[in-house]
Amino acid sequence: MEEAIDGGAAHVARRLYGRSKGKALRAGQARLLQELLPRLTLDLTQPCPSAAGLFPTAVTDVRLEIGFGGGEHLIAAAAARPDVGFIGCEPFVNGMAKLLARIDALGLANIRLHQGDAAEAIDWLPQASLGRTYLFYPDPWPKRRHRKRRFVSKETLAALARVIRPGGELRFATDIDDYAGWTLARVRESTDFAWTARASADWLTPWRGWTQTKYEAKAMAAGRKPVYLTFERRRDGARDA
Ligand SMILES: C[S@@+](CC[C@H](N)C(=O)[O-])C[C@H]1O[C@@H](n2cnc3c(N)ncnc32)[C@H](O)[C@@H]1O
């Protein structure tokens, strides 16, 4: 067990499941990992006084993407909103290399990165420092005995509730019905988040300006139908209002 760096939710050192390496990297990708990644990486060994202060220019909001994969959504979101700071977390080195190539090509200055478990970055961030968090197609771990490896848990929801400001959002997409039900059940038990859907169109329609991720394209090609769930961070005492 490790102490939280900023005195926030206690960070429990946990195993990160899933692959961290795939195909051999090209020379250009290896160079970006060596030279660009260290310049954009969060320094979790130092306290984080302010999430907005991680960016070189003033930002109006800070948003976090957990497990960005190939970075399709993160790049599009950051390019569309240069006034917003984005933090991307991804342990898979090939995904990180792909994202770095896009950041470099587009000259984006509003992305910061953590190559590893997003839970570490979440525990490091100050309270109420994020306006929005994205969790798209997290690894489904379909076997019953592996479900405890899923990113969504009572503990991660509590950690996210600490860093998402009241009125802020957690956006979640999955193509696995059982993971949607699992997440809804955990949100239902939480006093921190409320599912905002009013009608089926709300969970069957992607968010405005949505950029399809590689995983979603594969899921749809295989005939699976995604759901898009938006959870609002409750303001204190709002649960039974
Ligand atoms: C099924 S892929 C989806 C990727 C991407 N979101 C998409 O929609 O294409 C899940 C991703 O989550 C990453 N991941 C798994 N556990 C993670 C964790 N604890 N923190 C951050 N990323 C994680 C994996 O490396 C993988 O790239």
pLDDT for the residue 14 = 61
In a domain, residue 45? The reply is yes
Question: Measured from the CA of 136, which atom of ligand 1 is nearest?
Answer: 6
At residue 87, the pLDDT reads 98
- Atom 1 (ligand 1) nearest CA: 139
Q: Say how many Å lie between the CA of residue 102 and the centre of ligand 1.
A: 18
The protein residue with its alpha carbon nearest to ligand 1, atom 15, reads 67
Query: What is the rounded CA–CA span in Å between residue 214 and residue 211?
Result: 10
- Count of domains for the chain: 1
CB of 103 within 8 A of CB of 72? no
- CATH number for the domain spanning 188: value is 3.40.50.150
1 located within any domain: no
Q: How far, CA to CA in Å, does 52 sit from each of 4, 123, 125, 130, 209? A: 20, 16, 10, 9, 23
CB neighbour list of residue 188: distance below 8 Å, 6 or more residues apart: 195
Ligand 1 midpoint to CA 69 (Å): 5
| Residue of 64, 68, 72, 152 best suited for mutating to test ligand 1, as the one with most atoms within 8 Å of CB | 68
Q: Does any domain span residue 13?
A: no
**pLDDT for res 21:** 74
Tell me whether residue 224 is in a domain: yes
Compute, in angstroms, the gap from residue 207 CA to the centroid of ligand 1: 20
CA dist., res. 50 & res. 64, Å (int): 14
Residue 214 sits in which domain range?
Answer: 27-233
| Domain-located, residue 4 | no
In a domain, 187, yes or no: yes
CA-nearest residue for atom 12, ligand 1, is 67
Separation CA 166–CA 233 (nearest Å)? 5
Closest C-alpha to ligand 1, atom 18: 117
CB-ligand 1 contact for 96 (6 Å cutoff) = no
Kindly state if the Cβ of 179 falls inside 6 Å of ligand 1.
Answer: no
Tokens of 157: 């929801």
In a domain, 192, yes or no: yes
Asked whether 123 lines ligand 1 (CB < 6 A), one says no
ipTM of the complex in this document: 0.99
What is the model's pLDDT at position 238?
54
Is residue 215, in this structure, part of any structural domain at all? Answer: yes
Q: E strands of the chain, at which residues?
A: 61-66, 84-89, 111-114, 130-136, 164-174, 193-195, 227-233
Per residue of the chain (241 residues), give pLDDT as tens.
Answer: 233 333 333 444 566 766 677 788 889 999 999 999 999 999 999 999 899 999 999 999 999 999 999 999 999 999 999 999 999 999 999 999 999 999 999 999 999 999 999 999 999 999 999 999 999 999 999 899 999 999 999 999 999 999 999 999 999 999 999 999 999 999 999 999 999 999 999 999 999 999 999 999 999 999 999 999 999 999 975 554 4
Pocket test for ligand 1, best of 64, 66, 148 (most atoms within 8 A of CB): 66
- Tell me if residue 139 is catalytic: yes
Q: Which two tokens stand for residue 191?
A: 């006093």
CA of 59 to the centre of ligand 1 (A): 26
Ligand 1 atom 14: the closest Cα is on which residue? 67
Q: What is the pLDDT of residue 63?
A: 98
Catalytic residue among 6, 104, 139, 202: 139
Amino acid (one-letter) located at 152: V
What Å distances lie between residue 82 and 86, 100, 208, CA to CA?
9, 17, 17
